[in-house]
Amino acid sequence: MGHGIAQTLALSGFEVNLTDAKSEAMAAALERVKSNLSTLAEHGVVTRAECKQALQRLQLVDDATEAVKDARFIIEAISEDPELKKRLYVSLERSCREDAIIASNTSTIAISELAQPLRRRERFVGMHFWNPPHLMPLIEVVVGDETSEATVEATVALSRRLGKVPIVCRRGVLGPRLQGALMLEALKLVQEGAASAEDVDAVTKLTLGLRLPIMGPLQIIDFGGARTVLHGLEHLPKDGDRYAVPRIIREYVDRGWLGVQTGHGFYDYTEKDRKESIRLRDEWLIQKLKERKAASKKPKRHSRG
């Protein structure tokens, strides 16, 4: 993901040094950046002039210590190997400025664990981009036990300058945890013979996948009604803790926080909010329906064997 992160920074006006232990990896990264920029320009997201300027801001540097010596912000995106990362951080800390922030793009390893060998742990933070970094809008700013608030604020500010939407995570990343839960359940369904891989993916894409861009899972609970959702969750198959119902939804039901029908759930609602949310949801789904119909009417190309 390093090349996509470097591209995002360069497009946003930052001078960027891109480095890798292998020179061939750097050369390949530069070609991927050029290809990505060309695609963005073709679709009118950026101009050809902006692409050229971004490439001028992006430098390939063979020596990592040379690459970071004047850097104010360093983002690591190497393999998800904690020991390899820690050795790199120690080397970077020796070479970089005292006031530099070191950020990790890790999606799986605890920031506090990775910070252990560092002297300036308060200037170490998680900065989790989603793949592909130049297209996905969210950045998870992950706080370690000793990460300072100044470091968090600087990382949030940088994320916004990149045109991203930052969220601050104080107990590890959120997205991979949500995604992991879905992947694990999908794997179990196929493993148990409950469904084929094709059917599991079809259910995900044609139901959850259509609604989630406009309405997150907690909003879906609010619109479905907490009591109704609770009853549904209670009737899922019993399999140890696999479908254990979190107590938070029982507490909401006990308090009468049922969602849009009572005006309060995970969010607060006025009648205007409720109608606007439904309008946006339905317009989104109608657009997707029209796209599917248009795609189905396109003539299919048949290859000749």
CB 139: neighbour CB atoms within 10 A?
A: 26
The angle formed by the CA atoms of residues 68, 73 and 74, to the nearest 5 degrees, is: 55
Q: SS3 letters for 19-38?
A: CCCCHHHHHHHHHHHHHHHH
Please give the class, per CATH, of domain 212-297: mainly alpha
183 contacts 158 by C-beta, under 8 angstroms: no
Domain assignments of the chain as residue spans, ordered by start: 2-173, 212-297
Number of other CB atoms surrounding residue 102 within 10 Å: 25
Question: For 279-291, how does the pLDDT look when each residue is reduced to its tens digit (9 = 90+)?
Answer: 998 999 999 889 9
**Structure-token match 């006006």, residue found:** 13
Q: Is 1.10.8.620 the CATH number for 2-173? A: no
* Residue 43 among the catalytic residues: no
CB of 85 within 8 A of CB of 106?
A: yes
What confidence score (pLDDT) does residue 304 get? 46
Q: What is the pLDDT of residues 220-272, one digit of tens each?
A: 999 999 999 999 999 887 777 778 899 999 999 999 999 999 999 999 999 99
Write down the pLDDT at residue 238.
74
DSSP state at residue 93: H
Nearest C-alpha neighbor of 135 from the set 48, 11, 49, 50: 11
From the list 128, 134, 264, 302, the catalytic residue is: 128
Quickly count: other Cβ atoms within 10 Å of residue 27's Cβ: 12
pTM: 0.89
Under 8 Å CB-to-CB from 188, ≥6 apart: which residues?
none
